[in-house]
Amino acid sequence: MKIETYSNSTLLELSQNLHPDFQWGAATSAAQIEGAYDEDGKGLSIWDSFCAEPGRITDASDIRVACDHYHRYREDVGLMQGLGLDAYRFSVAWARVQPLGRGAWNEAGFAFYDRLLETLREAGIRPHVTLYHWDLPAALQEEFGGWESRAVVPLFADYAAEVARRFGDRVASIATLNEPWCVATLGYEIAQFAPGKKDRALAMQVSHHLMMAHGAAVKAMRKVTQVPLGVVLNHTPAFAAEALESDRKAARIDDGLNVRWYMDPIFRGQYPADILDHLGADAPKVEDGDLDLIHQPLDFLGINFYTRSFISTQTPPKPAPGKQGFTDMGWEIYPEALTQHLVRLSREYAPPPIFITENGMANADKLVDGRVADVERIQYVNEHLKALARAVALGVDVRGYFYWSLLDNFEWNSGYTKRFGLFHVNYATQERVAKDSALWYRDFITAFKSRRTPKAG
Nearer to ligand IFM, 63 or 251 (CB): 63
Cβ–Cβ contacts within 10 Å for residue 80, how many?
22
Binding to ligand IFM in span 358-377, by CB under 6 A: 358
The CB-of-452 to ligand IFM minimum distance in angstroms stands at 29
- Cα separation, 407 vs 427, in Å, equals 11
- List the one residue from 29, 173, 207, 437 that touches ligand IFM (CB under 6 A): 29
The CB-of-405 to ligand IFM minimum distance in angstroms stands at 7
DSSP letters along 49-83, please?
HHHHSTTSSTT---SSSTT-HHHHHHHHHHHHHHH
Crossing angle of helices 261-268 and 336-349, rounded to 10° = 30
Cβ–Cβ contacts within 10 Å for residue 190, how many?
13
Nearer to ligand IFM, 305 or 448 (CB): 305
- List the one residue from 23, 205, 304, 359 that touches ligand IFM (CB under 6 A): 304
> Are residues 70 and 64 in contact, defined by beta-carbon separation less than 8 angstroms?
no
Q: Which of 13, 34, 148, 179 is catalytic?
A: 179
Q: Is-catalytic flag, 336?
A: no
- Cα separation, 337 vs 306, in Å, equals 10
The CB-of-29 to ligand IFM minimum distance in angstroms stands at 5
How many chain residues are in contact with ligand IFM, going by CB under 6 A?
Answer: 8
The CB-of-179 to ligand IFM minimum distance in angstroms stands at 6
Nearer to ligand IFM, 88 or 404 (CB): 404
Cβ–Cβ contacts within 10 Å for residue 122, how many?
11
> Are residues 50 and 88 in contact, defined by beta-carbon separation less than 8 angstroms?
no
Of 289, 293, 264, nearest in space to 276 by CA: 264
Q: Read off the amino acid at residue 362.
A: A
Binding to ligand IFM in span 151-180, by CB under 6 A: 179
> Are residues 410 and 61 in contact, defined by beta-carbon separation less than 8 angstroms?
yes
Nearer to ligand IFM, 32 or 106 (CB): 32
The CB-of-307 to ligand IFM minimum distance in angstroms stands at 10
Binding of ligand IFM at residue 404 (CB under 6 A)?
Answer: yes
Binding to ligand IFM in span 325-364, by CB under 6 A: 358
Q: How many secondary structure helices (H) and strands (E) does the chain include?
A: 17, 14
Q: Is-catalytic flag, 358?
A: yes
The CB-of-216 to ligand IFM minimum distance in angstroms stands at 23
Residues recognised as catalytic? 179, 358
| Binding stretches for ligand IFM (CB under 6 A) | 29, 32, 179, 304, 358, 404, 411, 420
